[in-house]
Amino acid sequence: MENDGFIVIEGIHKNPNNIDTLDESSKIVHGPYNKKKASELAKTLNQKNIDNFYHRAWVVNKDIQTDNICEECKKEDASVKQNLIMHSYKICNSCNLAKTIFPL
Ligand SMILES: [Zn+2]
C-alpha cells in the first residue's frame, strides 16, 4: 500500500542528529503506518523522551531499510539513507558533493 510505507524507529543514539549512530540494542521499530500516523507517533515518542537527549524517534520510509544504493553512482553507502531522510535525495555524500559543485 502506497500510504502504508512508513515506519517509526526509536532508540538511543551516539549522535541524536544522525540515525546511523542508533544503538541497535536499543532500537524499537513501530509500524508500518501511513505518513501522518507515523509523524504523530514519532512526535509523541520524542516528547515522551524529551529528558533523554540521546533518545530519538525517526519517521522512515520503510523501503530505505533494505536499500543504501546511491542513484547516481549505484554504489552502496551508509550516507545514502541519511541523505534521503534529510534532503529527500537518494544519493551518497560524494555524489552529493559533486552535484553541488557541478549542478546538472
Ligand atoms: Zn553516489
What is the Å distance from ligand 1's center to 8 Cα? 26
Domains of the chain, CATH where assigned: 1-64 (3.30.70), 67-104 (no CATH)
pLDDT band at 1, cuts 50/70/90? very low
Q: Is 53's pLDDT higher than 50?
A: yes
Q: Which has more confidence, 28 or 5?
A: 28
Residues 62 and 86: their CA atoms lie apart, in Å, by 15
What is the Å distance from ligand 1's center to 63 Cα? 18
What is the rounded radius of gyration, in angstroms, for the C-alpha atoms of the chain? 15
Q: Are 94 and 73 in contact (CB under 8 A)?
A: yes
Q: Is 66's pLDDT higher than 70?
A: no
pLDDT per position as a tens digit, 71-103? 899 999 989 988 888 877 889 999 998 877 665
pLDDT per position as a tens digit, 11-47? 999 999 988 899 999 999 999 999 999 999 999 999 9
Q: What are phi and psi of 75, to 5 degrees?
A: -95, 155
> In b/e form, how buried is each residue of 16-32, taking b as 16+ CB within 10 angstroms?
eeebeebeeeeeeebbb
Three cell numbers at 15? 549522535
Residues 17 and 84: their CA atoms lie apart, in Å, by 14
State pTM to two decimals: 0.61
> What local confidence, expressed as pLDDT, does residue 90 receive?
87
What is the Å distance from ligand 1's center to 90 Cα? 9
Q: Which has more confidence, 1 or 96?
A: 96
Residue 36, burial from CB neighbour count under 10 angstroms (0-12, 13-18, 19+):
exposed
